[in-house]
């Protein structure tokens, strides 16, 4: 996160880490920074920070707030603690009606449904162009799919599916992007063990004909901050954290690029995005890992289906925009 802030904003913003949530550390931090208001994202609930902000009369907004059914049940077991922490907030800006209901049930004093900020996205033009250039290097007519933000266990599933895909589409290429950088080496070793001819983004030289050999079947995305590029280079996207009980990851980014989206059954962190994409035909849900090869093959072989799903995803995002504007209006009031 720190690296992304520096790469996006440079010296335009002052960036520091929030202190450990200890009373004396938080008090000293607030006294030095002297914020006019605080905005906390999603579900970061810190009791000492929240209490110190309220004591100083500093407005505190939990923006894009979400609370999965699992998290709600966990907080409900410590109802008194949850009510105390949420009682220090000025506003809970909830993503959905379900999230709002969860926060209200836990005792949050003021909750408003503002929608999901992730719908207010626009693909960065520079990365889209980089993705298009990468695709040209791969081969414009070559079937390409991405397994994005994968977790332990999902890479093996993706590689097994990719073997099946290449039986039907011999030139198919997989862009495999693990969620956590510390796992890059472990995934590279998995590729070696499974005998997949692959190239790594970290060693991919500009202009190098790395994909000229049709036996190269995997690009390992072992880099930071380039997900948009990888997505733009692919024909369709499987989004990880969903075939294992992690709760899913951002399925709206591929939809914004008009890419069909596949995900597994564990999407409890992105329930609203899941419902929107499924209901509009922009995504398909994989009930079990064994279904992934079939859905990949069906979608990669059908350009018209990919076009329809992609257009539906982009339209769904357009229709659900507005959360950012609503949030900024409320913050401006404070």
Encode pLDDT of 186-202 as tens digits: 999 999 999 999 999 99
Residue 139, Cα to own-chain centre: how many angstroms? Answer: 27
Bridge partners (DSSP) of residue 55 are none
Average pLDDT of 170-194? 96
Question: What pTM was computed for the model?
Answer: 0.87
Residues composing the chain? 334
Categorize the per-residue pLDDT at 287 as very low, low, confident or very high, splitting at 50, 70 and 90.
Answer: very high
The predicted pLDDT at position 44 comes to 86
Q: How far apart are CA 134 and CA 148, in angstroms?
A: 16
Categorize the per-residue pLDDT at 207 as very low, low, confident or very high, splitting at 50, 70 and 90.
Answer: low
Residue 7 has pLDDT above 80, yes or no: yes
* CA-closest candidate to residue 276, choices 316, 314, 315: 316
CA-to-CA dists, residue 154 to 80, 130, 189, 244, angstroms: 38, 26, 15, 7
* CB hemisphere CA count around 44 (13 angstroms): 13
């Amino acid at each position: 996160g720190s690296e992304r802030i520096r790469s996006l904003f440079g010296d335009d913003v002052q960036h520091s880490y929030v202190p450990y949530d200890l009373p004396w550390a938080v008090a000293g931090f607030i006294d030095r920074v002297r914020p006019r208001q605080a905005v906390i994202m999603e579900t970061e609930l810190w009791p000492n920070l929240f209490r110190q902000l309220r004591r100083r009369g500093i407005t505190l907004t939990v923006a894009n707030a979400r609370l999965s059914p699992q998290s709600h049940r966990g907080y409900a077991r410590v109802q008194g603690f949850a009510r105390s922490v949420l009682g220090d907030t000025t506003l809970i800006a909830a993503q959905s009606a379900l999230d709002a209901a969860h926060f209200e049930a836990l005792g949050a004093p003021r909750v408003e449904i503002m929608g999901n900020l992730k719908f207010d996205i626009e693909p960065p033009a520079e990365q889209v162009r980089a993705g298009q250039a990468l695709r040209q290097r791969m081969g414009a007519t070559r079937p390409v799919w991405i397994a994005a933000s994968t977790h332990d266990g999902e890479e093996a599933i993706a590689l097994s599916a990719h073997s099946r895909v290449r039986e039907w589409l011999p030139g198919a290429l997989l862009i495999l992007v693990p969620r956590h950088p510390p796992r890059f080496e472990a995934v590279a070793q998995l590729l070696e063990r499974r005998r997949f001819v692959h190239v790594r983004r970290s060693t991919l030289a500009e202009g190098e004909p790395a994909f000229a050999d049709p036996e190269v079947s995997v690009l390992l995305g072992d880099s930071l901050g380039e997900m948009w590029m990888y997505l733009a280079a692919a024909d369709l996207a499987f989004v990880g954290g969903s075939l294992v009980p992690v709760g899913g990851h951002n399925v709206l980014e591929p939809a914004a690029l008009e890419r069909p989206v596949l995900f597994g059954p564990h999407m409890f962190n992105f329930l609203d995005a899941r419902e929107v994409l499924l209901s509009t035909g922009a995504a398909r849900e994989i009930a079990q890992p064994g279904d992934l090869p079939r859905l990949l093959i069906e979608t990669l072989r059908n350009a018209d289906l990919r076009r329809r799903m992609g257009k539906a995803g982009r339209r769904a995002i357009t229709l659900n925009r507005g959360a950012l504007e609503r949030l900024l209006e409320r913050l401006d009031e404070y």
